[in-house]
Amino acid sequence: MKRRDILRAGLAAPLAAALPGRASAMPMPMRGTGDLGIVIERATGSVLVIDTTQMDILGRIGGLGDLSHASAVFSRDERYAYVFGRDGGLTMLDLLEMKIARRIIQGGNSIGGAISDDGRLVAVSNYKPGGVKVFHAATLEQVADIPAKWAGGLSKTVGLADAPGRKFLFSLFEAGEIWMADFAHGNKPRVIKIGKAGKWPYDGLIAQGGRIYIAGLFGEDGMAKVDLWQEPLKVERILDGYGRGEKKLPVYKMPHLEGWTEAAGAFFFPAVGHHEVLVMDGRTWQLTGKIPVHGQPVFVMARPDGRHVWVNFAHPLNDTVQVIDTMSRKVIKTFTPGPAVLHMEFTPRGEQVWVSVRDKNQINIYDTHSLELLRTLEAKAPSGIFLTARAHKIGL
């Protein structure tokens, strides 16, 4: 049935291509999805479906609710995107048919999600009610509800990431703890409270191919690390007092840890409250450098080959993007794409980067080797950009 629909769409394609303007919500001709992705349109509850080979927008899908803070993961066949919206909406998009496949409101206020390594479970991190809910990826039926109970009630959860073996790691903002939900033995999780991370973990990520979970702390200078290869699991503190002796600036936007790839043997990541990108050795977990940058970093994203990292910044210095060379550890290029640069996403092999410029209603596409602007596309208040290649990465 599905295949016939796609074939039919394929026959109709030449007609669609002949129409002026871009097709919207029209099924695509038979094609793969490895070069597709989505751009969140923050203010209008819509997403754009993009094609990084054509460097173009294929269509727009609306009706996704409040996307003021939204992120997405992809099914392992790269056909479906799961979009996590601020209003607790979990929307499954069909990128080929360019429509909403399923949509539920699973919570009151959510922050992000993850998909299990086997592609069968989608987990959502909620602020309200504080905790994590887990759903069947195919049907969006609820599998598990994990309230983040602590002494103060329910804690907001952040930094949700998938780990190998049907596991999800996450951090509790108020409680300052790191937990794991282990679905290795079926759909009833074993919930392990690994330990105390520190004051106000704000985000977390999986590093080193699934071995390490790291939570960044907002309330103190330092980070919390869990080595998933060590039994029993425990939280270790790293980089304690990395900003010692420096005056911390007010923070107008929480940084993110996503894109914290190991580059040239080191990790590059945002300092909280400082105009610096920090460099940590990937073996000793010691701070080995501080790179002065334009403002407080929000995203510090390594190009997939690790040679460069691209950095955007918090309000009010958020009109700028800088590129750091990981060999010299110096800023080699400063762009000013326009007001409110919110996100950056590299193509799978890193030859292009797509940059959202919210207040210019624009997406900029750069060649990451020549550092030249290749193309601009119109979008309505674009924020997150997510490409289907994420389907095959652990811990996003």
Partner 1 sequence: MKFPARKILGPGLLLALAGGLALAGSGWAGAAQPDAARVKALIHLVRQDCGSCHGMTLKGGLGKPLLPQNLAGRDTEALAEIILDGIPDTPMPPWRTELSRADALWIARKLKEGFPHETP
Query: Interface with partner 1 by CB under 8 A: which residues?
Result: 42-43, 66, 68-69, 86-87, 109, 111, 127-128, 156, 158, 173, 200, 202, 218, 250-254, 315-316, 340, 358-359
Beta carbon of residue 107, minimum distance to partner 1 (angstroms, whole number): 12
**Identity of the residue, 67 or 206, whose beta carbon is nearer to partner 1 in the bound complex:** 67
**Identity of the residue, 65 or 195, whose beta carbon is nearer to partner 1 in the bound complex:** 65
Beta carbon of residue 258, minimum distance to partner 1 (angstroms, whole number): 16
CB distance 44 to 52 below 8 Å: no
**Identity of the residue, 174 or 345, whose beta carbon is nearer to partner 1 in the bound complex:** 174
CB distance 106 to 72 below 8 Å: no
Beta carbon of residue 393, minimum distance to partner 1 (angstroms, whole number): 25
**Identity of the residue, 29 or 339, whose beta carbon is nearer to partner 1 in the bound complex:** 339
**Identity of the residue, 126 or 326, whose beta carbon is nearer to partner 1 in the bound complex:** 126
What is the phi/psi pair of residue 389, to 5°? Answer: -60, -20
Say how far apart CA 186 and CA 176 lie, in whole Å.
Answer: 28
Beta carbon of residue 70, minimum distance to partner 1 (angstroms, whole number): 10
**Identity of the residue, 324 or 381, whose beta carbon is nearer to partner 1 in the bound complex:** 381
**Identity of the residue, 20 or 250, whose beta carbon is nearer to partner 1 in the bound complex:** 250
Beta carbon of residue 111, minimum distance to partner 1 (angstroms, whole number): 7
Beta carbon of residue 82, minimum distance to partner 1 (angstroms, whole number): 20
Beta carbon of residue 85, minimum distance to partner 1 (angstroms, whole number): 11
Say how far apart CA 175 and CA 197 lie, in whole Å.
Answer: 9
